[in-house]
Amino acid sequence: MLRKTALSLLLLVTAACGGGGESSDNGSNSGTTTPVSVTNDITGTWLEYVEEFDCKEVYQFYSDSTFSVQTGGEFIEGVFTFENTVSTGQAHKLELTFESQNGEADCQGDRGNIVGQIATLFIKFNSDHQLSFYASVDAVEVITELDRNVPIDTNPLSTAILAGERASISLIQESYQLINPQLLYGPQGMTFDANGVIHWQPDNLFFTREQEYNFAISAENSIEDKLLVVRVVDDLAQQPLVRTGIEIPYSSNNLWVADFDGDGKNELLSSSSEGVISLLSHTGASYRQEWVYPYAPIGDSRTLKTVAQDINHDNRTDIIVLSDHGLYRITDLSKPMETIYEDETLTFLDVGGNDNSNASSDDLVMLTFGTMGHQVHLINANTGKIKFSYSVSAATTQVRLANVDEDEQLELVTNSGYVFDSISGENEWLFFSGFGDDISLGDIDGDGVAEIVGAPRWGKVSVYSVISKSLLFDMTTERDNICTVKTANIDSDPDSEILIGNCQWGYIYAVDVQEEKPVEVWRLDLIEHSSSSIVTGDIDNDGADEIVWGSGHTSSGPDIIAVADLGVEPQIAWSSEIEQQLLRFTSSGWGQISPGNFSTVFVAPSSSSHSGQRIIVMDNLGELRFSDETASNWNRSKHAKVIDYNHDGYADIFLGSSDLYDGFLLVKELDTFRTLWGGEGEQSKDYGIIESLDVDGDGQEDLLAVSGTRIQLLDVTEQRLFDEKVFGSHITDLLIFERDGINYLSVSTYSEVIIYEVSNSKLIQRTRENIYCERIGYRTSDASLICSEGTGYNKITSYDLDLVPRVSIALDEEVTDFIVVDDNALVASRSGVYSNEEKFYISEVDLTTGKIIWQGPNLLGPIYPRSLHFINKTDSFDRNRLTFSTENAMYLTR
């Protein structure tokens, strides 16, 4: 059928019969029978899809007898008359008067001036939802056909669907049918049919119990592509299991001892400048990481502050988190943190909790900076309601909350010298010199009222009384560089003691007030450089308090947590070990380590104290096993491959390492960490990417190893070299895939991509093109090689196996890693220009349109290439999972 636009319709009609006159035959016969009439209504939206130009022409007829036509960029308006009722079989007369147009090109690229013209057309309705245009009342030839727009009803999508259950959701009325319905993009397994029904059985969720999925639909007889959202609920989903190295706070008052999980035992809460919030618990003679909040706090993680306080009165201590962006709470360790208070006009600087057991535990004090300068606020942690706010000096950096006078209510105390009553808001005292850089509130003289203990970075520790509004006394330590002060009752009398931690190398001092004079009662070595936070509490649940502190954050040595027993002669009982200080993890995969024990495996190239490479095995409960140091690993090798090397049903690992400058390859059992093969170094070898394939069909996995510009194909069992290739530039990635029963190896370098066929234990070149890919993947459904351009880039391109590009997509965020799952990709990305603005996500992305189907929460650091793995639920797990590593953490979704 010849397609006609609005303009060509006018030209056609005005050229025929003086504008297409009316027939004198009204359809009646010469007898006495009255012809049956029919009434139709043209008002509404009609359209036609112009396939040749991939364009929809939209005709709007309004009840006030005006009309509009949108065709390509052209927009036309005018008035119309329409003959609603005609004899059966006759055409309805439509007269269009064109009053305005914007002069843009129509769907066919034509332009023309039709303002002031009148077109007379004749219309027959083929059904309630379709009409045909004719040039005259008795014409037989159809000029064009229009379909009534099918409205999409999004209301059915307001109800969430359940993971694992098949859902059919109708988006149109039953009387309509869609022409050529299309699912433009959407989650795996979703379909869309001519009845306007979405069919989908969502898989389990990875990160939360509720997730929004984006998808888009279109049809030739629907006015526009519809971008839609459906919610999926997975009641079985849990937050990801996360483990990190031992994390210590870099500022004071950020260690807490309390029962956070409601098991009747205490844990140690710690937070770090990397945004890691974690709990340590006592296990026998040591301590283990029991819980890690899996997501990065909102805002700059370097500003993180915490408070431990039961704000919802459930007899379980809650976690209060402050970042520069706002104030938040974690009242259930299995759920995401909730917002207490946010204000984009403010920068949040500090938070303090209630230090008095006889006062309300709802109240918090926070310090902010904004257009009103520095302010302190008393806020209800449950309602987020600010009770009062007062301006303070720019020297204010810390706020605390305790009863420091003779009334019963709490006072707000700042390090800069302010004391406010928490009920009236009255400024009770302003000590202009300030109390120090670090302050703590505690009853050191046994009178039932807390004193203020303050210390500058360099100088004396001073004790102040709000009752007398005076300095009570001050004291010096052997080393007067002071990072931390803390008041706590660590002996059998009712008074609190003063704990002081040095900066740089030094000690933790305990000072008791005896006869109104400070007396040093003991000191303990910091172990590492400087102190951060100090806290006391029964961390090992033996009925007696311990003292805990962090150290090492100001040097290149390890960051440690130290625990000391408080007895007649306090001594250090435990400090975190080397393997607990690992960082910059790389996920190597997963497998059955021993009968019924399926675990994920990570490689840490070094620790914070620069010790060597270790292998880490994490089971489904978060229990960690560490290998001994494989080597000094000076070249920082981090890539490995978990594989059942000898097909005995249990996972092994292929990895590269080095001693000094001599690189070597290893094959190890993961159950015992026993070396099965390798370990002999070769000078200047720097092993990177590792892959595996049974090349010769002997039932044993063979090893593909990259060293700079060289790739080697090795028979591990026979210890021989199958093949070797050397390239002109550094190798960035390897990919093994199978097509039609043939194994292929794709190699990407800084300058080219090469596809080899693996045949007779040799690599036979098939295709080679000058393409740069940092990461490559394979999509089975259409035999596409998927390429991401690498760090700093946001582009992903699909190629056929002749390396001819098919489609490129550009994301809004930098792509750091990806894997292909079915037809879509799971993409790890980084956003943000500055380090304090960076966010790190995993998203499902449509590889044709680049649209994000779902996006997970902000993670604890970037995911680097080859660190993201998909675990199908058929592979001995009860649900689909992801295992991956960020720079700071090891993850397993569950």
Q: What is the token pair recorded at 256?
A: 């807490």
122 close to 134: Cβ distance less than 8 angstroms: yes
Q: Provide the sign of the torsion angle of the four alpha carbons 605, 606, 608, 610, taken in this order.
A: negative
- Asked whether the predicted pLDDT for residue 9 surpasses 70, the reply is no
Type of residue numbered 129? H
Q: What is the token pair recorded at 716?
A: 């591990």
Which CATH number is 6-25+35-148 given?
A: 2.40.128.640
Which CATH number is 343-434 given?
A: 2.40.10
Distance CA(13)–CA(134), nearest Å, equals 9
Percent of the chain with pLDDT over 90: 74
The pLDDT value recorded for residue 289 is: 94
Q: Which residues pair with 677 in a beta bridge?
A: 667
84 close to 40: Cβ distance less than 8 angstroms: yes
Could you tell me which of 827, 883, 818, 880 has the C-alpha nearest to residue 642? 883
- Asked whether the predicted pLDDT for residue 887 surpasses 60, the reply is yes
In Å, how far are 603, 672, 883 from 590, measured between CA atoms? 12, 16, 8
In Å, how far are 380, 382, 387, 423 from 376, measured between CA atoms? 13, 18, 11, 14
- Asked whether the predicted pLDDT for residue 24 surpasses 50, the reply is no
Distance CA(281)–CA(258), nearest Å, equals 10
Q: Is 494 exposed, middle or buried (0-12, 13-18, 19+ CB in 10 A)?
A: exposed
546 close to 538: Cβ distance less than 8 angstroms: yes
HSE, CB side, 13 Å, CA atoms: give it for residue 134. Answer: 19
The pLDDT value recorded for residue 674 is: 95
The pLDDT value recorded for residue 265 is: 95
Which CATH number is 155-233 given?
A: 2.60.40
More confident residue, 9 or 665: 665
For 303, phi then psi, to 5°, come to -100, 10
- Asked whether the predicted pLDDT for residue 466 surpasses 50, the reply is yes
- Asked whether the predicted pLDDT for residue 2 surpasses 50, the reply is no
CB atoms within 10 A of CB 349: 20
Q: What is the mean pLDDT of residues 150-177?
A: 95
Question: Confidence class of residue 632 from pLDDT cuts 50, 70 and 90?
Answer: confident
- Asked whether the predicted pLDDT for residue 740 surpasses 70, the reply is yes
- Asked whether the predicted pLDDT for residue 221 surpasses 60, the reply is yes
Q: What does pTM read for this prediction?
A: 0.90
The least confident of 192-206, 566-580, 847-861, 869-883 is 566-580
The predicted-structure confidence for 421-463, as pLDDT tens digits, reads as follows 998 889 999 999 999 999 999 999 989 999 999 999 888 999 9
The pLDDT value recorded for residue 7 is: 54
Question: Confidence class of residue 273 from pLDDT cuts 50, 70 and 90?
Answer: confident
Type of residue numbered 867? S
The pLDDT value recorded for residue 375 is: 98
User: How far does CA 516 lie from the centroid of its chain?
Assistant: 55
Q: What is the mean pLDDT of residues 259-279?
A: 93
The pLDDT value recorded for residue 106 is: 92
- Domain chopping of the chain, boundaries: 6-25+35-148, 155-233, 343-434
**Distance separating the N- and C-terminal Cα atoms of the chain:** 56
- Asked whether the predicted pLDDT for residue 233 surpasses 80, the reply is yes
Q: In the predicted model, what is the mean pLDDT of the chain?
A: 90
Q: Check if 6-25+35-148 and 155-233 are the same fold.
A: no
Percent of the chain with pLDDT over 70: 93
- Asked whether the predicted pLDDT for residue 611 surpasses 50, the reply is yes
